[in-house]
Chains A and B, each alone.
Chain A
Amino acid sequence: MNRRAIALLLTLGIFLLVLPEVANAYVLSVATLILFFAYTGQAWNVMMGFCGQLSLGHSLYVGIGAYAAAGLFFHYGIGPWAGVWLAIALCVAMGAAIGFLAFRFSISGVYFALLTIAFAEFTRIGFDHIDWLGGPAGLFIKVAQRDKMDLLDFRGPPAMYYYAALALTAGAFVFCFFLLQSRAGYYWQAIRENEEAAQALGINTFRWKMLAVGISSAMTAVAGVFFAFYYNNLFPEQIFNISRSIEIILGPIIGGVGTLFGPVLGAAVLTLLADGITELLAAMGWEIPGIKQVFYGVVLLLVIMFLPHGIWPALAKRLGISR
């Protein structure tokens, strides 16, 4: 991380801090969405970008995290500050189960990805049958009053959610920065690049892969809690849907897998473009369902064709920033 990178971060940080002062409600909601995807993308990146373990089922952790905190709040009035710990515990347990099955029995690559999809899918179906959490009809928590701020229960105006998302994204960025400099970062990248060689150098690959899954699932659990209290309604069909998982991973892939800026940049590019195009079409009087997905597909195709390592590595080179 050189001077230019720090300057860029500072500029970005100041811009994001003052944004709610100047932005209208719509812009703020888009910015919150970008930060949400930047954060979840960063969480996914720990597993795939750092450690090379492809998860296509990260909606699982968003969903479990969201339902855990929302359920506690809905039934017992227990706020998210307590709920988030249950969310993390459940998601880490789930991640550990997937990781154990896969790494113990040497399931890797696309087969590992399939396993993550399978877990997300059967959890989705399972949640359809949990009446306590609303089943397919959904779970609704009381909508926040926009003018009153209740930090304890995480209910408040949009700006509060925006700043919460900003804090998560910034925290994840710094956390991942230090992870990469640590023993774990070196070991994960070694495993990503060549697992056999990593093992020959004394790395207990099972243990370090499990750690990557644990950290990634715990981070994503927090995103789930945020999601629940921001949107106030949860449906298994939506939150566990594979398209959610895809949305999470598109940001880091387009921004640059394994880089720190990639997930943030990718989330911004995708959300802005997708929202922009939806707005543009609406302004022209066209409402085409699914146009966002088509657009995602096209952007992904272009990035893979022209920037196979994502936008950030190419941009970083231009800006004179290393990685």
Chain B
Amino acid sequence: MNFLEVEGISKSFRGLKAVANATFDVPSGAIVALIGPNGAGKTTCFNVIAGVFAPDSGKVIFKDKEIQGIRPDQVCAAGIGRTFQIVKPFAGLSVLDNVIVGALQRERSVASARVFSLSLLKKLKLDAKTDLPASSLTLPDRKRLEVARALATRPALLLLDEAMAGLRPTECDEMVGVFRDLNRADGLTILLIEHVMRAVMALAQKVVVLHHGEIIASGTPAEVVRDAAVLECYLGEETEV
């Protein structure tokens, strides 16, 4: 059995098929990347897993339980944390309070949530900014905060929606290091959507390629970048620009 299995999910918006019969799995302890050109249906796929949308058909099985169609907070309680592509910090709250909100998912008291949150902020190198309002953070810091907040819910599976986008190469490498560390040391399973191939190649053991809502390739990063269909869909997109 697999840790997370996505079985033939489809989701349409007003007749437009965003995801069509997508099937893939994420083994426990793995880092899997979901890539594809813009509009390929990656975020929709994420939102179905995270409970934002119920799929029109298909199943999402997490730890042997069907979770498709349940609410986002129930998905989180089941052990799946997520970040948003467009970051959604609690702007009026301090950086620390942002993370405490997440930590309260598993912690019994605010005091213990605070302790845990501080350790996470340290891990993500935000410990100098704990008392600043989240609204004052730069984009890279907001991305880090987004990750810290999701980690605070102590997920078994972390969904990262373009966590590296907009980061400079050195910052990107730093984040890669953080995720690799979380994966190796804490056994965190990660499913990421990413355009930054530098991060994908460094992190993912498996890559799933979506195009027009369908999965066109899947395999190790080295296999996927040589795949004819993948090259075509990416090159095709580049010529349009």
Contacts and interface: CB of A to CB of B under 8 A. Distances in A.
Nearest to A190: B101
B110 A199 contact: no
Given A196-B84, A200-B84, A201-B153, 16 more contacts: A186-B110, A193-B91, A194-B89, A194-B90, A196-B88, A198-B101, A200-B76, A201-B73, A201-B76, A201-B102, A201-B150, A202-B73, A202-B76, A203-B101, A203-B105, A204-B73
B31 to A, nearest CB: 21
21 contacts: A182-B110, A186-B110, A187-B101, A187-B104, A189-B92, A193-B92, A193-B93, A197-B84, A197-B90, A199-B73, A200-B50, A200-B82, A201-B76, A201-B149, A201-B150, A202-B73, A202-B153, A203-B101, A204-B71, A204-B73, A205-B73
B148 to A, nearest CB: 11
A196 B149 CA distance: 13
Nearest to B131: A322
Interface in B83-137: 84, 88-93, 97, 100-102, 104-105, 110
Contacts of A202: 73, 76-77, 102, 105, 153
A3 interface: no
Nearest to A203: B73
Interface string A186-218: 110110111011111111110000000000000
Interface string A170-198: 00000000000111001101101110111
* Band of interface residues on B: 20 to 34
B145 to A, nearest CB: 11
A311 to B, nearest CB: 18
B69 interface: no
Interface of B: 50, 52, 71-73, 76-77, 81-82, 84, 88-93, 97, 100-102, 104-105, 110, 149-150, 152-153
Nearest to A195: B88
A134 to B, nearest CB: 45
Nearest to A204: B73
Nearest to B134: A193
A45 to B, nearest CB: 15
Contacts of B89: 193-194, 197
Closest 10 CB pairs of A and B: A202-B76, A193-B90, A197-B88, A202-B105, A190-B101, A199-B72, A201-B102, A194-B88, A204-B73, A202-B73
Contacts of A190: 90, 93, 101
A214 to B, nearest CB: 19
Contacts of A181: 110
A189 B150 CA distance: 17
Nearest to A208: B73
A193 B110 CA distance: 19
Contact of A189 (B76, B82, B97, B152): B97
A206 B50 CA distance: 18
A182 B104 CA distance: 10
Contacts of A193: 89-93
A141 B92 CA distance: 46
B64 to A, nearest CB: 20
A200 B75 CA distance: 8
Contacts of B88: 194, 196-197
B28 to A, nearest CB: 21
Nearest to A201: B102
A131 B52 CA distance: 50
A197 B142 CA distance: 13
Interface string A152-184: 000000000000000000000000000001110
A183 B110 CA distance: 7
A194 B90 CA distance: 6
